[in-house]
Amino acid sequence: MDCPLTENIKPGEGPPDIEAYEKGGGYGALRKALQNMAPGDVVQAVLDSHLRGRGGAGFPTGHKWTFVPQGEQAVHPTYLVINADEMEPGTFKDRVLLEGNPHQLIEGIILGAYAIQADIAYIFLRQEYATAAQRCSRAIAEAYARGYLGRNIVGASFSLELYLHSSAGRYICGEETAMLNALEGRRATPRAKPPFPPVVGLWGKPTIVNNVETMANVSHIIEHGADWFRQLSRSVDGGTKIYGVSGRVKKPGTWELPMGATIREVLEEHAGGMRDGFKLRALIPGGASTEFMPADQLDVKMDFDSMQAAGSRLGTGTMIILDDRTCPVGMVLNLMRFFARESCGWCTPCREGLPWLVRILEAIENGGGELKDMEILRRHTGLLWLGHTFCALAPGAMEPLQSALKFFEDDFLRHIREKRCPWR
């Protein structure tokens, strides 16, 4: 079983219902954990598995769980929130898991909740994922009917309520503290940290926020063990990863591969390489807020540490391809428009800085740029960097910008010199 996350997902077919899921061994890990393992054993198994968060930041999942106060310090209710707000441009991997096998996610959620002794869990789902909403609602109802959710799950003393929260469209809700404000029915601006959510989260109670893909791994770790999980990977990070490719390639899509597959493997073997008539210029490896990588870096392994060493980030692992017939300045302008639009407006550098960058990039793209604009763009990559802003949205926006200024400087200068976009 090399592809635990997707082996029961059949493209074009609906997800397995609870009977089909159980027939394939589903909810076996849950019985095993609730009947034979202490919560701390589940945490330890996930720690040993080297599972790192798949939302983009790559924080070790088991380690995050240890921050929740336990024993005499335990606070109830404790919450588990599943981040299914997949809105990072270029990212479409959680959709596959939400639509393809919701019971796998739900079993992972119950196990995670047991590990941290949570009482209530929410799936925070973006509104546009309408098919996922239907399928998750149905799966949750089925799990309640079978006694996997609610009071005394599978006859054990552990109880959990799981609710689906359908949001209403705003990128910043994916930031974990903004997500907590959203769930509390407040304007979803991020919160100051510390205190951190595992100690002071939803309504001030301990709260863990985990990504969909992260949680989909948990039942497999409990069923087959941490050693097995680590061996799935070709890197120090355990498990597989759902990689994706979009842009002008022959077969855009997602594939579950060992963590640490190379960019070349994903792009050439699975996405079929570039479409005829297009050459690879560069790529953004893991969603809009990761640094461009030039075409000579295809042999970099797509795991958290290797990508960082190569000057970018794994992010969400779904890459966006820049081809030779697409304007890099136009692409960066599109990205900055997104970030400017989705800035929550709470802190000044982000609210004012991003629209300024959009105006400058528009001027350059439309032939009205000046040489001094390059310096203004460069300065902003520092002014909007970590430490100057309230959350990571603007620094995330600076990652593609600063790498574009490095790799495509000649293209920017040509726009300014020729007073037009050479691609139009």
Partner 1 sequence: MLTPEELAEIETEQTHYEQKRAACVEALKVVQRSRGWVSDESLSDLADFMGMTTDELDSVATFYNLIFRKPVGRHIILVCTSVSCWVMGHEQVLDHLRKRLGIGLGETTADGRFTLLPNVCLGACDLAPALMIDDDLHGNLDTQKIDEMLARYE
Tell which one of 28, 40, 69, 77 touches partner 1 (CB under 8 A): 77
Q: Which is nearer to partner 1, 116 or 335 (CB)?
A: 335
Counting residues that bind partner 1 (by CB under 8 A) gives 60
CA distances from 353 to 165, 210, 347, 384 (A): 32, 30, 10, 7
If one asks whether residue 83 binds partner 1 (CB under 8 A), the answer comes out as no
The CA-CA-CA angle for residues 383, 386, 389, to 5°, reads 70
* Exposure b/e, 313-341, CB count within 10 A at least 16 = b: bbbbbbbbbbbeeebbbbbbbbbbbbbbe
Minimum separation from the CB atom of position 338 to partner 1 (A): 6
Tell which one of 284, 302, 329, 350 touches partner 1 (CB under 8 A): 284
Minimum separation from the CB atom of position 250 to partner 1 (A): 12
Q: Side-chain half-sphere of 303: how many Cα atoms within 13 Å?
A: 20
If one asks whether residue 254 binds partner 1 (CB under 8 A), the answer comes out as yes
If one asks whether residue 6 binds partner 1 (CB under 8 A), the answer comes out as no
Contacting range for partner 1; rule: CB under 8 A; set: 18-26, 146-154, 182-190, 297-305:
182-190
Residues from 376 through 405 that contact partner 1 (CB under 8 A)? none
If one asks whether residue 124 binds partner 1 (CB under 8 A), the answer comes out as no
3-state secondary structure of 121: strand
3-state secondary structure of 245: strand
CA distances from 314 to 4, 30, 98, 155, 243 (A): 21, 30, 21, 41, 10
If one asks whether residue 244 binds partner 1 (CB under 8 A), the answer comes out as yes
The CA distance from 160 to 79, in Å, is 10
Contacting range for partner 1; rule: CB under 8 A; set: 104-112, 127-135, 190-198, 220-228:
127-135
Return the H-helix or E-strand segment holding 85: none
If one asks whether residue 130 binds partner 1 (CB under 8 A), the answer comes out as yes
If one asks whether residue 201 binds partner 1 (CB under 8 A), the answer comes out as no
Residues from 203 through 242 that contact partner 1 (CB under 8 A)? 203
List Cβ<8 Å contacts ≥24 apart for 355-364.
356/380, 357/397, 357/401, 358/333, 361/329, 361/332, 361/333, 361/336, 362/333, 364/329, 364/412, 364/415, 364/416
If one asks whether residue 119 binds partner 1 (CB under 8 A), the answer comes out as no
Contacting range for partner 1; rule: CB under 8 A; set: 65-73, 124-132, 349-357, 410-418:
124-132
Helix 371-383 / helix 409-418 crossing angle, nearest 10 deg: 140
Contacting range for partner 1; rule: CB under 8 A; set: 61-69, 91-99, 207-215, 293-301:
91-99
Q: Which is nearer to partner 1, 244 or 369 (CB)?
A: 244
If one asks whether residue 170 binds partner 1 (CB under 8 A), the answer comes out as yes
DSSP 359-412: HHHHHHHTT---HHHHHHHHHHHHHTSTTSSSSSHHHHHHHHHHHHHHHSHHHH
If one asks whether residue 247 binds partner 1 (CB under 8 A), the answer comes out as yes
Tell which one of 10, 23, 151, 186 touches partner 1 (CB under 8 A): 186
Minimum separation from the CB atom of position 189 to partner 1 (A): 8
Q: Which is nearer to partner 1, 9 or 47 (CB)?
A: 9
Q: Which is nearer to partner 1, 60 or 198 (CB)?
A: 198
CB of 302 closer than 8 Å to CB of 261:
yes
Instruction: Report residue 38: phi and psi, to 5°.
Output: -80, 155
Beta pairing, strands 253-258 & 79-84: unpaired
Rg (CA), the chain: 22
If one asks whether residue 127 binds partner 1 (CB under 8 A), the answer comes out as yes
Q: Which two tokens stand for residue 106?
A: 């739900």
The CA distance from 165 to 162, in Å, is 10
Minimum separation from the CB atom of position 96 to partner 1 (A): 10
Tell which one of 2, 19, 41, 184 touches partner 1 (CB under 8 A): 184
Query: x/- contact string, 306-345, with partner 1 (CB under 8 A)?
Result: ------------x-xxxx--x---xx--xx-xx--xx-x-
Q: Which residues bind partner 1 (CB under 8 A)?
A: 77, 86-92, 94-95, 122, 126-131, 161, 163, 165-171, 182-188, 202-203, 244-248, 252-254, 284, 288, 318, 320-323, 326, 330-331, 334-335, 337-338, 341-342, 344
